[in-house]
Amino acid sequence: MTEDIMIRRDRRAGRITLNRPAALNALSHQMALSIAAALTEWQDDPEIALVIIDAAGERAFCAGGDIAALWHAATAGDHEVGRRFFADEYRMNAQIANYPKPVVAFMQGFVMGGGVGVGGHASQRIVGDSTQVAMPECGIGLIPDVGGSWLLARAPGRIGEYLGLTGARLGPGDAIHAGFADRYIPEGEWPAAIDRLAESGDVGTLPQHPAPPAPLEGADLSAFGGAQVADITAALADAGNEGALTPLRRNSPLSMATALAMIRAARGDRRIEQSLAREYRFSHRATAQADFVEGVRAQIIDKDRKPAWAAPSDRAAVDAMLAPLGTRELDWQRDEG
């Protein structure tokens, strides 16, 4: 346990609280390891009936992974820091998705990237009025990872392609409609709901409320059925959809082309581990071969918002980023290296 994350027992619940509100609860490597260790400890504990994951502060459940450290290491020539982080994070994501006890996540404010990896695979995913869910990785030269391709592949219609390529934000109703959340509860009721869960160990105590409206339910996203990003861009231009075109013109071409291929490949996956392993092939190579270092520089380090994308984005480049890693393929035991 670190000061950035609070892990404790509360009656019949295991409690995990992300505790970096000033940093929008950005997920560090140590936080990911702490979550995994707690889940392992509680898995066979008869006194723990369920796990509750929440976060301190009002602005964010978790706005993403703490990737500045990865950038600093990569620019110094060390790509193993990022590879170890991604591997351990993805294993934790799969652990949550496959956990034998209920995991209830209360997700307020920003739920982005790594935050989706923590909350988006829980068995009960609670959203409130402030919730904004997004997978904006293509804007930093990464791809929708942490099991994001698995979730996007299971969204209705072409919502997955739309969200993955644009990084658009989902309010609570759209998050439920797209399959990133299960239940809406007004945030003022969350403390009492958490107290009942801890006391009873029963997810049946969660209150029922109608889901808010989901604007995406009636949206025409047929353009995102295009075979390639260029086809999607052309269709959006023909339709005059500047709102969707703007992020496509801004994001990394390689990231978008790879995300499109990954979301569609994930539709054939039977287990989240298959999607995570595919995502890891990209992220393993990302700091050395893709636009990730430049994207993080532009968005997070220098904040000039003017990335100079340089990586090729043709089919051969996508295939190279998703090619098997041989002995470096993601396995499901923690890498001690």
Q: Rounded to an integer, what distance in angstroms lies between the CA atom of residue 332 and that of residue 322?
A: 19
Query: Would you call 114 a catalytic residue per the annotation?
Result: yes
Contact at 8 Å (CB) between 131 and 109?
yes
Catalytic residue among 137, 161, 273, 279: 137
State how far Cα 100 lies from the chain centre. Answer: 21
Q: Nearest CA to 218 among 263, 267, 181, 173?
A: 173
Bridge partners for 18 per DSSP? 5, 55
Q: What stretches of 23-124 show up as alpha helix (H) in DSSP?
A: 29-43, 68-75, 80-97, 114-119
Contact in structure between 82 and 286 (CB atoms under 8 Å): yes
Q: Is 145 a catalytic residue?
A: yes
Among residues 114, 117, 120, 164, which one is catalytic?
A: 114
Give the Cβ contact number of residue 247 at 10 Å: 16
Catalytic residue among 66, 145, 273, 291: 145
Token digits of residue 180: 């990133």
- Residues 14, 64, 65, 119: which is the catalytic one? 65
Give the sign of the dihedral formed by CA 130, CA 136, CA 139, CA 141: positive
> Which residues, including other chains, have CB under 8 Å from residue 72's CB and lie 6 or more apart?
none
- Phi and psi torsions of 144, nearest 5°: -60, 105
Shortest CA distance to 67 belongs to which of 303, 328, 331, 287? 287
Q: Is 65 among the residues known to form the active site? A: yes
Which helix (H) or strand (E) covers residue 288, if one does?
helix 272-289
> How far apart are alpha carbons 269 and 263 in whole angstroms?
10
- Catalytic residue numbers read 65, 114, 137, 145
